[in-house]
Amino acid sequence: MANLANNTMNKVKILVVGDSGVGKTSLVHLICHGEALGNSSWTIGCSVEVRIHEFREGTPSQRPYFVEFWDVGGSGSHRNARHVFYTPVQGKIHGNMCVGFRVNSKGAVLSNYEVFTLLQEVCQQSSKGKRNITKTQTHLANIAFDTLKYLERTPCKGQSPEAIHRFLEATKNFKLTKAEKLQLINLRPTTPVEMQLIIEESEDRLSEEQVEELISLVELHLPDPVSTPQMGNGPQ
């Protein structure tokens, strides 16, 4: 494959960067394999996925490109080592969140729950059926459907606007950034290690007691949709 890329194809390197836990790996997997990633893990350092892209497919100027997606881990503990992946590069994708997006550079970032409800509406509209659907529209509909299936296996399926509002109110005093709050809602961390990966410099900003309190607030206001409710009283 390496010889093929070097001898007959143009080669492009795309850098995928963003905060830890926002879904960069899931996005790259969807682009390269055409399907949602079932179980994602934290990226340590950098991982690389490749795909062959036909530029201007179906036209006289069509030509293949060997595209490398360099998925760079977003943990703050690796900040000083990331620069080794930054050159040479022909493009960059910045991950703002797990699946959500910005309408423009000044727009608000959507939570996974908001994207989930939006895609449900999109898929419902698509299911009504329209004539003369283009290839691009079909491709976008498939991506929306696959993304919706992925989100159905994430914490957002069990969330609601009221639950998210209560969680944000309960965490006001922790002085978290907007991005950190968003990741807490999207990822629903339940261990100190997961909290450390989401909250930058958490050891300096939060005590062990505050981390445990945050975990308790996550479990209280953002219940796991796939878990079975437990009856009776647990340990105090």
Per-residue H/E/C for 187-228: HCCCCHHHHHHHCCCHHHHCCHHHHHHHHHHHHHHCCCCCCC
Sorting pLDDT into bands at 50, 70 and 90, what band is 211? very high
Cβ(95)–Cβ(30) below 8 Å: no
Asked if the model's pLDDT at residue 37 lies above 70, the reply is yes
pLDDT value, residue 140: 66
Domain with residues 2-95, CATH architecture: 3-Layer(aba) Sandwich (3.40)
DSSP string, 136-172: HHHHHHHHHHHHHHHHTTSGGGG--HHHHHHHHHHTG
The helix or strand, by DSSP H or E, that contains position 50, with its residue range, turns out to be strand 46-55
DSSP state of 128: T
Query: The pTM is what?
Result: 0.54
> What does the pLDDT look like over 7-28, one tens digit per residue?
566 788 887 877 777 678 888 8
Q: What is the mean pLDDT of residues 123-135?
A: 63
Chain position carrying tokens 């509909």: 141
The superfamily in CATH containing domain 160-221 is: RNA Polymerase II, Rpb4 subunit (1.20.1250.40)
Cβ neighbour number for residue 202 with a 10 Å cutoff? 19
Structure tokens at 126: 């698509």
Q: What is the mean pLDDT of residues 199-210?
A: 91
Cβ neighbour number for residue 17 with a 10 Å cutoff? 18
Domain ranges of the chain: 2-95, 160-221
Asked if the model's pLDDT at residue 221 lies above 90, the reply is yes
Q: What is the mean pLDDT of residues 194-223?
A: 92
Structure tokens at 207: 């005590």
Q: What is the mean pLDDT of residues 127-155?
A: 71
Beta bridge partners of 47: 71
Strands 46-55, 63-72: pairing is antiparallel
CA–CA gap between residue 205 and residue 137 (Å, rounded): 46
Residues 6+ apart with CB under 8 A from 173: none
pLDDT value, residue 136: 61
